[in-house]
Structure 1
Amino acid sequence: MQKMTPSDGQSMNVVDENIEVLKKAFPEAFTEDGIDFEVLRQLLGDNVAEGEEKYGLNWFGKKKARQIALSPSMGTLRPCPEESVDWDTTQNLFIEGDNLEVLKILQKSYAGKIKVIYIDPPYNTGKEFIYPDKFHDNLDTYLRYTGQKGEDGLVVSSNNESSGRFHTNWLSM
């Protein structure tokens, strides 16, 4: 087996890749401190979506879910020839692991080399419960998370929206 180096196990850093693309397209939007979003906005002709009236799928936790998806993985894929069928001749791989982490690793090492990926959705089967069956928070917790209720328990908003609590965790997963 070929010896692995630390960089072999690290997934592609999507954020760094995105920044490099922006630097090439809009170098004047970058300063020594980072991205000047006002300059970038001007370079894009103020074609920026603002306000609340736009199509999209939003939920509490979406920002955190996106951050997790963009964070690099330090995982490693290890072959198991002894558990495989026709290891030396097959052109198929069976990978067992967390879907997001595996996809991050494959993105760098196998870019342009994969024809099809079948992902078994993370639902509970049998007695081993890896993911929670009930994707909802209690109403009080949800109202606090979404800023509709203060830490002191007092209602901050006069327009309580509570149905999102049943889907937030599921969407983030």
Structure 2
Amino acid sequence: MDIEKINKIVKTDIKEGLRRIYPEIFEDNKINFEKLKSLLSGEIIEKEDDRFYFNWAGKSNLYKLIQSPAYGTLKPDKEKSIDFDNKENIVIVGENLETLKLLLKPYFGKVKMIYIDPPYNTGKDFIYRDNFKEPLKDYLEKTGQIDGKGNKLTTNTEASGRYHSDWLNFMYPRLFLARNLLRDDGVIFISKYLAA
């Protein structure tokens, strides 16, 4: 085998490995190196071009959270299970981000279906946190619209993001990790919230 064929095989293997781990860096079957650099550095790289970007306050810190190791352990409850040794389906109860990290290694790219019922940022009282609104002053500081003393640094004081940035910071890592668990033909179902 000549060196050109070997290089082509290696490049294909690297590209497919990146596609499995970071599917969001591919655009029209080509690698967007700015997105790859952003994922690897944990920082948002802003570049002026004709593309749309979905950014929000705190997004640059999420890649560090996604890549931080899990410290928990999954422990089966055979007494509550039905025919545990002969079934291939499992139900897991636990903090979902930690659990997703624990499942990545053994189930990467193997899961057929994921069903989630996330919080919808309605502000209503549930077992889990469902109000992600942060104080206006904190949001304006985080987004660089005011300094630590409360002085305006911009004339455009947009505040509606404070209702959604924390929710996006909560959801993005979970959906990112869940996507990596899915097979190529896998699906994720997200329960629709129905307002009362």
| Superposed pair shares fold, TM > 0.5 | yes
- 1:138 maps to what in 2? 135
Runs of 5+ unmatched residues, structure 2: 1-16, 22-33, 38-44, 171-196
After TM superposition, give the deviation of residue 127 of structure 1 in Å.
6.8
Partner SS, residue 134 of structure 1:
coil
Of Structure 1 and Structure 2, which has the larger fraction of its residues in strand? Answer: 2
Contact 1:76 1:105 (C-alpha < 8 Å) held by counterparts: yes
- 1:88 maps to what in 2? 85
Question: Which of 71, 74, 92 is the equivalent residue of 1:77?
Answer: 74
Runs of 5+ unmatched residues, structure 1: 1-16, 22-36, 41-47
- 1:129 maps to what in 2? 127
Change over 3 Å in CA distance of 1:144–1:52 after alignment to 2: farther
Moved over 6 A (4+): none
Contact 1:99 1:119 (C-alpha < 8 Å) held by counterparts: no
Separation in structure 2 between the aligned mates of residue 112 and residue 65 of structure 1, nearest angstrom: 21
Does residue 157 in structure 1 map to residue 154 in structure 2?
A: yes
Question: 1:55-66 to 2 correspondence within 5 Å?
Answer: 55-66=52-63
Give the TM-score, by structure 1 length.
0.63
After TM superposition, give the deviation of residue 49 of structure 1 in Å.
6.9
Mean Cα deviation higher: 65-74 or 49-58:
49-58
Of Structure 1 and Structure 2, which has the larger fraction of its residues in helix? Answer: 2
Q: Work out the percentage of aligned pairs sharing the same amino acid.
A: 40
Does residue 168 in structure 1 map to residue 178 in structure 2?
A: no
Equivalent pairs counted in the alignment come to: 129
Q: Which of these two proteins has the greater Rg computed from alpha carbons?
A: 1
Separation in structure 1 between the aligned mates of residue 68 and residue 49 of structure 2, nearest angstrom: 28
After TM superposition, give the deviation of residue 52 of structure 1 in Å.
7.1
